[in-house]
């Protein structure tokens, strides 16, 4: 059996085009976000991420994706009220899955329909996995943080989480967004698209936890150990977590806004250590790979920010999901407008039976 599998893999190697990961294939026209990896620029519905994250609330970013413009204060209030009502009315039968992403998927699978605010409200409650009652009058970030941590968050923690939720709300044709669009293209419902996208986001190559970044910082412990720790790690052929990106050849623009958001909180030793480790990693990676820029990606300061707002590591990916779900829903609406089924082809590499 093992022999048969390796023959098949060899055949795949020879006959499947190198672009089998669909690199450089344009799968949709979108007005939702634009990722420019060479320039290191991320535009969300017409605005550079730097001008949105830290300056608007999650509710306003949801409106922006849906309507293509920023809301008036009254419209902002309406979105906040809609999300509050949706959180308050979300309820789930108990699930006994230990992994928080499995639990999020199982809870959302108990819901149905096409109501964007209903889905986003349910996502926050499902991700937090709390038995506390949601507060419909709180902002989405504040209520999620309270449900997820069991503590009333400070204003600066809420502001930092809002900055994060806005920064990661959409990012081109990433794997979970593509998944949502494929499901939407079959004329299925929005909830099904979101549940499928949660499954894609769970994989460690996509939403993969920024937890390893914190593990690395824990292991380094002090900035004066950063040089030797990174040199030893690279000598063992390991990858430095939170560095490098498939698309960006510059520092990830989201790293700037997340670092800025953490910097607006009370100064922490963690942030100082992170900056020192980033500097050291970037310098050593540049020396090792002079032709391949390997710089800080979104995961690096995501880890620092989500830790600073008091979230446990296990909830990092579910927290990513509650924001990105707004992007998924907007992409579902865009995909539906095309009325086109996404249906690529494959190349048969099997034998014909005699």
- Which position among 59, 82, 171, 245 bears the catalytic label? 245
Residue whose token pair is 């413009």? 69
Give the integer Cα–Cα distance in Å for 164 and 265.
13
Q: What angle do CA 345, 348, 350 make, to 5 degrees?
A: 160
C-alpha distances out from residue 114 to 27, 203, 242, 265, 329, Å: 23, 25, 35, 37, 9
In terms of DSSP H, where are the helices of 236-297? 253-263, 269-288
* Using rule CB under 6 A, residue 203 touches ligand COA: no
Question: Which phi and psi (to 5°) does residue 241 adopt?
Answer: -70, 140
- Of 107, 181, 202, 245, the residue at the interface with ligand COA (CB under 6 A) is 245
Give the integer Cα–Cα distance in Å for 283 and 298.
18
Residue 227 among the catalytic residues? no
Q: Across-strand partners of 56?
A: 53
Residue 132 among the catalytic residues? no
DSSP label of 152: P
Residue nearest to ligand COA (CB): 244
- Which position among 60, 278, 280, 299 bears the catalytic label? 299
Give the integer Cα–Cα distance in Å for 245 and 251.
9
Site track for ligand COA across 291-330, x = CB under 6 A: -x-x--xxx-------------------------------
| Minimum distance, C-beta of residue 242 to ligand COA, in the bound complex (Å) | 5
Strand, coil or helix: 44: strand
The rounded radius of gyration (Å) of the Cα atoms in the chain is 21
| Minimum distance, C-beta of residue 248 to ligand COA, in the bound complex (Å) | 9
- Of 56, 103, 166, 243, the residue at the interface with ligand COA (CB under 6 A) is 243
DSSP label of 237: T
Stretch that binds ligand COA, among 20-28, 124-132, 166-174, 235-243 (CB under 6 A): 235-243
Stretch that binds ligand COA, among 4-12, 33-41, 108-116, 241-249 (CB under 6 A): 241-249
* Using rule CB under 6 A, residue 246 touches ligand COA: yes
* Using rule CB under 6 A, residue 52 touches ligand COA: no
Site track for ligand COA across 269-298, x = CB under 6 A: ----------------x---x--x-x--xx
Q: Give the binding site for ligand COA (CB under 6 A).
A: 239-246, 285, 289, 292, 294, 297-299
User: Looking at the annotation, which residues are catalytic?
Assistant: 245, 299
């Amino acid at each position: 059996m093992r022999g048969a599998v390796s023959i098949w893999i060899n055949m795949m190697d020879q006959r499947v085009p190198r672009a089998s990961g669909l690199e450089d294939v344009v799968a949709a026209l979108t007005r939702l976000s634009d990722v420019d990896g060479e320039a290191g620029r991320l535009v969300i519905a017409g605005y550079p991420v730097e001008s949105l994250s830290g300056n608007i609330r999650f509710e306003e970013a949801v409106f922006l994706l849906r309507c293509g413009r920023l809301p008036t204060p009254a419209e902002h209030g309406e979105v906040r009220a809609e999300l509050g009502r949706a959180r308050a009315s979300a309820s789930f039968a108990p699930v006994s899955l230990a992994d928080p992403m499995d639990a999020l998927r199982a809870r959302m699978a108990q819901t149905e329909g096409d109501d964007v605010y209903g889905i986003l409200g349910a996502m926050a409650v499902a991700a937090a996995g709390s038995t506390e009652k949601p507060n419909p009058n709180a902002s989405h970030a504040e209520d999620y943080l309270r449900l997820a941590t069991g503590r009333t968050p400070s204003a600066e923690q809420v502001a930092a989480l809002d900055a994060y939720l806005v920064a990661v709300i959409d990012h081109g044709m990433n794997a979970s967004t593509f998944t949502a669009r494929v499901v939407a293209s079959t004329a299925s419902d929005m909830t099904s698209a979101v549940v499928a996208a949660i499954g894609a986001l769970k994989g460690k190559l996509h939403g993969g936890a920024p937890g390893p970044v914190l593990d690395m910082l824990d292991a380094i412990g002090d900035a004066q150990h950063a040089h030797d720790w990174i040199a030893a790690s690279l000598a063992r052929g390991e990858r430095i977590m939170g560095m490098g990106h498939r698309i960006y050849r510059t520092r990830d623009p989201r790293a700037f806004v997340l670092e800025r958001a953490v910097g607006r909180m009370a100064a922490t030793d963690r942030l100082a250590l992170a900056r020192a480790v980033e500097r050291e990693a970037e310098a050593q990676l540049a020396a090792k790979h002079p032709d391949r820029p390997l710089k800080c990606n979104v995961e690096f300061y995501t880890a620092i920010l989500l830790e600073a707002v008091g979230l446990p590591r296990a909830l990092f990916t579910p927290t990513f999901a509650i924001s990105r779900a707004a992007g998924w829903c907007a992409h579902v609406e865009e995909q539906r407008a095309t009325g086109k089924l996404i249906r690529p082809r494959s190349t048969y590499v099997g034998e014909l039976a005699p």
